[in-house]
Amino acid sequence: MFEVLLLSSLLSQAVTGRPASAEEIRKFDITVFPNGKGLPAGKGTAADGKEIYKAKCAECHNEKGEGRDQQYPRLVGGVGSLTTPKPIKTVGSYWPHATTVWDTIFRAMPYETPRTLKPDEVYAVTALLLHWNGIITETFELNEKTLPQVKMPNRDGFIPDARPYQKLKK
């Protein structure tokens, strides 16, 4: 019985389905790769990002990216702390690629209204976070060409696991 239902539902899907349009695919096709592939054209500086941050991010991440109440992650600081007994992991101290900061903000922030920021706004708040982390100056223009070239402090901190690959015993 189940198979019959499944088959008929598959058949009706086959009949009523249609290929997704280019526009529908584009809305989901937003991945930005570490090397910058997938970044849309746009630009912004830390100075441009201040107002956007105040209006759309500070409520949770605090005035200067300090985070809040253990609940909203700290976004600033911790550079140089990873090898100490109290590592502070932030996008500045821990993340190896600046492009991932852009991707995360564009796809997932603000937390309650994700995907509402325009590319220029994302370049600007990304620039602000990189600036607060001491990685770029306040007037450095981030765009689809310069962002992939930003070297993050922990870029070389991720190393391949040297242990030999173990096959599972059956």
Interacting residues toward ligand HEC by CB under 6 A? 56-57, 59-61, 72-73, 75, 90-91, 101, 104-105, 109-112, 117, 125
Give the shortest CB-95-to-ligand HEC separation in angstroms: 7
Instruction: List CB contacts of 16: < 8 A, sequence separation 6 or more.
Output: none
Q: Which is nearer to ligand HEC, 25 or 50 (CB)?
A: 50
Instruction: List CB contacts of 108: < 8 A, sequence separation 6 or more.
Output: 114
Give the shortest CB-46-to-ligand HEC separation in angstroms: 12
Give the shortest CB-100-to-ligand HEC separation in angstroms: 9
Q: Which is nearer to ligand HEC, 68 or 165 (CB)?
A: 68
Give the shortest CB-32-to-ligand HEC separation in angstroms: 13
Structure tokens at 79: 């550079």
Cis peptide before 19 (omega within 30 of 0): no
Q: Which is nearer to ligand HEC, 6 or 151 (CB)?
A: 151
Q: Which is nearer to ligand HEC, 36 or 90 (CB)?
A: 90
Structure tokens at 62: 């605090």
Q: How far is CA 53 from CA 80, 94, 157, in A?
A: 25, 21, 29
d(CA 108, CA 120): 16
Give the shortest CB-7-to-ligand HEC separation in angstroms: 39
Q: Which is nearer to ligand HEC, 39 or 101 (CB)?
A: 101
